[in-house]
Structure 1
Amino acid sequence: MTTAQAQELDDCWNRIGVAGDHSCARLQQAIHCRNCPVYAGAAQHNLQRPLPPDYRREWAEYFRRPAQEGMRHDASCVVFRIGVEWLSLPTPLFLQVAPQAQPHRLPHRAAHGLAGIVNVGGKLYPCVSLAALMGIDERDTLERSGHHIFPRLLLVRMENETYALPVAELHGIERYRSEDMLAPAATINKGLTRYLAGVLPLREMQIGCLDAGLLAHQLARTLR
């Protein structure tokens, strides 16, 4: 905004409004300056001001610059936690994140890892425990101060079948470079290691990237 335009803008909220001495007669009715039409009008005036001469050129040059080689991300995953293990699956596999629900056991079905069926949005889905499949102790947990942790159900689509996977915590989507993936450490439990395509270091976390093909095969076996 130019000096002349700034002078045209009467910032009364800084003088007699909530940021000033509260002497404005409108405050009794508006309670706060953001509810006042004068404040709204000033915002419109600010948004409708003419663009600086070089504004479009500068932003066009900024977005025209190629991304730095070290910053190019070619893959993304959804990161979640089971027990103390941070795990991930490729983002395209996910259909929905739902609140945790109690699975109902299926009669005459005792496949390892199959917890039963769950109702999500009026539809029934097979619920499979990754903790049981991979030998993860769900009683182990992480101490995370300042965070509200909510268990979730992750609906994933694999080989034309949708599964509900219970997790202790959902971190979210992360983008990364495929070349940053490392080989699994020898200290990871053997039940989990066989399902890992690699490990992705991300800030304070070591994320186990699950082999989607192998996991899909194992999930299908639980329904046979």
Structure 2
Amino acid sequence: MNNDCWNKIGVEGDRSCEQLKTVIHCRNCPVYSAAGRSLLEREAPPEYVNEWTEILAKTPPVSSKTQVSGAIVPSPETASVMIFMLGGEWLAVPVGLLQEVTDPCIIHTLPHRNSELFMGLVNIRGEILMCVSLSHLLDLEDNANSSDSDSVSSLAAKRMIVVGSQENHWVFIVDEVCGIHRFPIRELQNTPVVISKATEAYTKGVIRWQGHKVNYLDSDLLFSTLNKRIL
């Protein structure tokens, strides 16, 4: 690959790239993203396809149970989530719903359509998406003014996350994106007080992450409510 600038002037190089001041890490840069897409979209070499065809043909079917030292041991059911912070609360959504994490951009308000929940429209890589106030929906109103303002200065240190399914995509403003975490479903604890006191319970329970209690949101209920109240 000719334009592997991340290995030369990016995070893996001497960090002299001017874009790092804005994107923070090379993985948030359009050049890095374009290079990744080109690798995924290239045609696989014939020998590579043949080799993996033979490997998969010899691989036994995957079972929900694993054979260990002659005993059948059930495999733990796990889930992967993206953890973020908003209004002083640690929150998480299924990682499969995460479409993109990006720097904040201008929110364009719509006449007669804006409310405390629906903030307006944003342009994410040429796609027009709806931006909503997650803090308002979850009744985290103590920090809503600082979390959901669309001014350039107030958004500078925050992130926008794009989540959703094939039918709908939503954009939330969050204070901090903390990363991906995988946990056994059996470790899911009871619903936290801050969410259970809301008008509707938008959480499946609590998980532990680096000493913090993280509210694992019920994405089905979350998206269903947004569809009813906005669309």
Superimposed CA distance per residue, residues 112-169 of structure 1 (whole angstroms, 9 cap, x where no aligned partner):
411101111122110011001111132699xxxxxxx941111112360111111000
Aligned to 2:227: 220
Residues 141-220 of structure 1: pairs in structure 2 closer than 5 A: 150-158=157-165, 160-186=167-193, 190-191=197-198, 194-220=201-227
- Report what 2:60 is aligned to: none
Gaps of 5+ in 1: 1-63, 142-148
Change (3 A) 1:177 1:193: farther
- Please, what TM-score do these two structures have when normalized by structure 1? 0.60
Alignment deviations for residues 27-55 of structure 1 (CA, whole Å, 9 cap, x no partner): xxxxxxxxxxxxxxxxxxxxxxxxxxxxx
Residue identity opposite 1:184 in structure 2: T
1-structure distance, mates of 2:91, 2:134: 10
Q: How far did 1:203 drift?
A: 2.3
Poorly superposed stretches of 4+, deviation over 6 Å: none
Residues 118-133 of structure 1 aligned to structure 2 (within 5 Å): 118-133=122-137
Task: Compute the displacement of 1:216 (Å).
Answer: 0.7
Contact 1:84–1:140 (Cα < 8 Å) also in 2 = no
CA contact (8 A) 1:116 1:126 kept: yes
Matches within 5 A, 1:18-167: 72=76, 74-136=78-140, 137-138=142-143, 150-158=157-165, 160-167=167-174
Question: Which amino acid is 1:88 matched to?
Answer: A
**Structure 2: tracts of 5 or more residues without a match:** 1-65, 147-155
3-state SS of 1:209 partner: strand
- Matched residues, number: 152
The alignment partner of 1:172 has SS state of strand
Q: Do the aligned residues in 2 keep the contact of 1:111 with 1:222 (CA within 8 Å)? A: no
Query: Structure 2 length as normaliser, TM-score?
Result: 0.58
The 1:164/1:187 distance shift into structure 2, 3 A limit, reads closer
| Alignment check: 8 A CA contact 1:158 1:216 kept | no
In structure 1, distance between residues paired with 2:192 and 2:219: 19
Sort the Cα spacing of 1:163 and 1:197 in 2 relative to 1 into closer, same or farther, 3 A: same
Cα distance 1:132–1:101, how it changes in 2: closer, same or farther (>3 A)? Answer: same
In structure 2, the CA distance between the partners of 1:187 and 1:99, relative to structure 1 (3 Å rule), is closer
Pick the structure with greater CA Rg.
Answer: 1
Q: Deviations over 1:5-38 (max 9, x none)?
A: xxxxxxxxxxxxxxxxxxxxxxxxxxxxxxxxxx
